[in-house]
Structure 1
Amino acid sequence: MRLLNCVVTLFLCGPVLCGPAEAGLRCGAARVDITPPPGTPMAGYYFERGAEGTHDSLYASVLVLDDGQTRAACVMLDLIATTAPMVQAARERIEQTCGIPAGNVLIAATHSHTGPMLASSNRRSNDFGASHPLAVRFMDELPDRIAQAVSDALAAAVDVQAAWAVGRCEGIAFNRRFHMRDGSVGWNPGKLNPQIVREAGPVDTDLPIVEFQNPDGRPVSLLMSYAIHLDTVGGPLFSSDVPHTVRSLLTAARGESLIPLYATGACGDVNHIDVRSSLPQKGHGEAARIGTRLAAAALAACDNLRPVEDPRLRVARRTVELPLPEIAPEAAAAARETIERNSAPGAARPSFLELVKAYQTIDVVEREGRPWEVEVQVIAMGRDVAVVSLPGEIFVELGITIRRGSPFACTAIAELANGSVGYVPNRVAYPQGNYEVVSARVAEGSGERLVDAALEMLRELYVAP
């Protein structure tokens, strides 16, 4: 209660933007409950597990913008990822029912590890419950649920004033790759491990925020982005993880009419584990602690909101070709043997990295040399705000490069958006190896291709003063 009182106090001190709403800019927000029933297989790990219930509901949260010339929508899903077929189906329904061009719709996942498994034809997914009837039904129904949320948001649209801020939240996110004393680069090497020398990469402590207030000064929606892996909770109950607390506190502080959107920034190599501390960091209490810190930082940033000048909407997207890592076709047989050995009674179990490599090998070989075609998208307002979508678990170094190179004052990143190719490390990480690199379905240099595409579009969309 003390923490909540502190957060609410921040709101009471926060500013209300003065003056009329920007001419022509309208905003609507809505959310729909997408929580599957108990028994639905859960995503997040290399084994199948069924949900036993729900700790907190999973949502599709939607923000719709309309400047009189252009309409755009942002959708944030409390899911492990997005798939290209699901995104395409949802976009088509949104265009048909709401009149928003499919290419102007951004659909991203928060990367909750306590959401449902996503039904897919992918071999890796089918091994962990994605062919289960409840998982298939969930994915079949999801596009319509998303379209309904967008329709509800559009119907609720009002004139608004847009404003932005870039806050800061330190001490909750940590790079999970480390230089070790033996010269290797470790991944999650354990708390108080004496073999750790130093972190192998940075974190991004910036907290971009965009808020939309109606003519009475009441917030309609708030979009925020932060780079931290959402694998805090664990267990057999559906949960959105950290965003549950963040959104609850933002709504309590900024008004019950507020619908917050939580985007996960580039955090492929970043999580919440502080290896310098011996304290346990798992469960709903830890998620609430981190979420409270993030909500407080967001509300503090709201004390310094700046109006968006000339908030005309502009949207661009680009298809980027990402090459496959080099894997011999004959390696697939050995990979399948490894997977079979993992579940065979009495057989010696492969190591975790051997299993990860086996699934990666099968996925890559089955593409028969066809590179990935993925989408990078930018939604921009004036010269102040831009939201960049990236199609995977993007290393934080790549996200920092985009944000620092962007000409926009407030650049937010939403990873796992409009489909996903899994982990996308930066060039430096590939020779270092370990989990994210072993798991990567894309070749070295793919992350830099995404960065180049994002920066090109940001520069094209920027309105010079």
Structure 2
Amino acid sequence: MRVGHGVARLEVVSGEPMGGYADRSDGVQNVLDPLEVHVVTFADDGHRFALVVADLICVNGDVVERIRTAVRDIGVQSCWVAATHTHASPEAGCSPGGEATPRHVADRLEAASLAAARSALASERAARLGSARTLVPKLASRRNVADSGPLDIPVDTIAVTAGTDVVGLVVISPVHPTILPADNNHVSADLNGGIRRALSAPGRWVVVATGAAGDISTRHTRLGRGLDEVNRLGAWLAGRVEPVLPHVGGDTPTPVRPPISRTVTLAPKEPAELDVALQQTPPGVEDERIRWVLQQGRRIAEEQAARRRTEPYVIEVEAVDLDGVTVVAVPGELFLELGETIRSAAPDQVGDIVVLGYANGYVGYLPARDTQPCYETHVSPVTSGSGEIVVEAAVEAAVEAARDREHSRRTSA
């Protein structure tokens, strides 16, 4: 296997709208830290797969297809595009169910992705992969539960090793990267940028993506709302991830294969379902911020209901095997417990599973069937139980990717 990495800056335009917060009115005024687009390529003589990770609030299907077409022309046969979900980026059409990406944002994202992909191809070299999981305390918790104590957050790391040297890291953090507040109008990669900076080292590149972070944030654990706190929590996570990097080596790497895809059809939320949800109030909600967010969610839900969508949402859930590490891509905001269900429900022969969120499109929140009424359940555009449907499809795709891996290993032996 050959692995390469490239990075390009995602340019912004002063005054353009910012995404992520419904109550934000000001556009971009400055750059706190640059937005980046990272591309990692995984290749052998038969296939090349690319993972694109962009510091954006979301990526919708239209721009994903543009990027896939662009990189296909330079030798990338399959490609995923994921957003870090930073709320300090230009607006990219991140509404429930997704919408058309603003043309000027799509143009810049495509250009940066192509530039980073070219750099990745030029840097490819023989490498192996391994994965490790670290439980990080005091990082984050369930954001819309007032008495939620800090959780041990499961952070997955895919290490890229050339010989005995770790030359690259792909870190998947299941935490909303939202330390900076709604009144911030300076673009930033936010928490994911802080993690990148803390883990960077000479001769080692770092990519930080976001996992099943639908209900997880630093709301109850952060000590501030500025860049200092971004760097503090980034360093806190990095200090716990780095000591447990996996040893990589041994058997011949498995061939690079195209991702396995499952088409999932999700029904839109029924008006009656919304009416019931809006009448419910979570018990014990005394936290002023949570109560205000819940009211905001109800307003968005009512606006969504007024549009009366009847056609289903059709999404693709995908899985790819990368040298024995199975990565699953979900085009929305999966709750952490559902991401963990994907890992636990898959058979042992699948091996390590890493769940990537906000990838290859954006359908919105995918809460669990029994989730108590909250902002996420109100603004989710799909009916109750959609999260479990996505989990089932993800497990099926992961199992098939593992089966494909074993078949390829036998036939290439």
TM range (shorter): 0.7 to 0.9
Structure 1 segment 102-181 matched on structure 2, within 5 A: 104-119=78-93, 136-178=103-145
| TM-score, normalised via structure 1 length | 0.75
Q: Which residue of 2 aligns with 1:335?
A: none
Name the SS for the 1:412 alignment partner: strand
**Distance (whole Å) between structure 2 residues aligned to residue 123 and residue 370 of structure 1:** 14
Compare 280-289 and 25-34 and name the one that shifted more: 280-289
Corresponding residue of 1:269: 215
- SS of the equivalent of 1:65 reads strand
Counterpart in 1 of 2:315?
374
- Counterpart in 1 of 2:359? 417
Q: Do 1:37 and 1:53's aligned partners in 2 also have CA atoms closer than 8 Å?
A: no
Aligned partners of 1:162 and 1:311 also within 8 Å = no
What CA distance in whole angstroms lies between the structure 2 residues aligned with 1:361 and 1:144? 37
Paired residue for 1:394? 334
Q: 1:301 to 1:60 in 2, by over 3 A?
A: same
Does structure 2 retain, via aligned residues, the 8 Å contact 1:224–1:412? no
* Among 45, 48, 53, the residue aligned to 2:25: 48
SS of equivalent to 2:41: strand
Give the Cα–Cα distance (whole angstroms) in 2 for the partners of residues 79 and 61 of structure 1. Answer: 12
Q: In the TM superposition, what whole-angstrom CA distance separates every residue of 1:273-331 from its partner, at most 9, and x where no partner exists?
A: 337xxx743221221111001111221122x4243743322321122111111027xx9
Q: Deviations over 1:399-429 (max 9, x none)?
A: 0101222344332111111011111100011
Question: SS in structure 1 opposite 2:178?
Answer: coil
Distance 1:249 1:443 in 2: 40
Q: How many residues align?
A: 383
Work out the CA distance in 2 between the residues paired with 1:138 and 1:443.
30
Q: Structure 1 residues 203, 306: CA separation in 2 closer, same or farther (over 3 Å shift)?
A: farther
Aligned to 1:205: 153
1:251 aligns with 2:165: no
Q: Is the 1:160–1:212 contact (alpha carbons within 8 Å) kept by the matching residues of 2? A: yes
Partner residue, 1:26: 2
Q: 1:239 aligns with which of 160, 183, 188?
A: 188
CA RMSD of aligned residues (A): 2.9
Would you say the 8 A contact 1:56–1:238 is kept in 2? yes
SS of the residue 1:38 aligns to: coil
2:171 is matched with which residue: 197, 215, 224? 224
- Once residues 54 and 453 of structure 1 are traced to their aligned partners in structure 2, the CA distance between those partners, rounded to angstroms, is 39
How many Å separate the matches in 1 of 2:111 and 2:223? Answer: 40
The TM-score with structure 2 as length reference comes to 0.84
> What is the CA deviation profile of residues 112-159 of structure 1, one whole-angstrom value per residue up to 9, with x for unaligned ones?
111111158x69999xxx99xxx6422233223212211221121111
Query: How far apart are residue 161 of structure 1 and its match?
Result: 2.6
CA distance in 1, matches of 2:16, 2:113: 19
Aligned to 2:65: 88
- Contact (CA 8 Å) 2:296, 2:375: kept in 1 or not? no
Letter in 1 for 2:67: A
Give, in whole Å, the separation in 2 of the partners of 1:45 and 1:233. Answer: 11
Q: Take 1:38 and 1:301, find their aligned partners in 2: how far apart are those partners? A: 41
Cα shift at 1:177: 3.6
Contact 2:192 2:209 in 1 (8 A): no
Match of 2:231 among 285, 288, 301: 288
CA offsets per residue over residues 46-66 of structure 1, 9 Å max, x none? 132212211111001110000
- Runs of at least 5 residues in structure 2 that lack an aligned partner in the other structure: 276-291
| 1:147-188 deviations in Å (ceiling 9; x for gaps) | 22112211211111323222231221211243xxxxxxxxxx
Aligned residue number for residue 242 of structure 2: 299
Classify the secondary structure of the residue corresponding to 2:233.
helix
Question: Would the aligned equivalents of 1:118 and 1:125 in 2 still touch at CA under 8 Å?
Answer: no
> Unaligned stretches of 5+ in structure 1?
1-24, 179-188, 190-195, 332-350
CA contact (8 A) 1:232 1:286 kept: yes
Query: CA separation of 1:360/1:92 partners in 2, compared to 1, >3 Å: closer, same or farther?
Result: farther
Q: What is the aligned partner in structure 1 of residue 266 from structure 2? A: 322
Give, in whole Å, the separation in 2 of the partners of 1:125 and 1:267.
18
Structure 1 SS opposite 2:200: helix
- Tell me the equivalent position of 2:162: 214
Work out whether residues 266 and 383 of structure 2, in 8 Å CA contact, stay in contact via their aligned partners in 1: yes
Q: Secondary structure at the match of 2:26?
A: coil
Report which of the two structures shows the higher radius of gyration computed on alpha carbons. 1
1:369 CA drift (Å): 0.8
Matching residue's letter, 1:274: H
Kindly state the Cα deviation for residue 361 of structure 1 after the two structures are TM-superposed. Answer: 4.2
For 1:52-91, list aligned pairs within 5 A.
Answer: 52-91=29-68
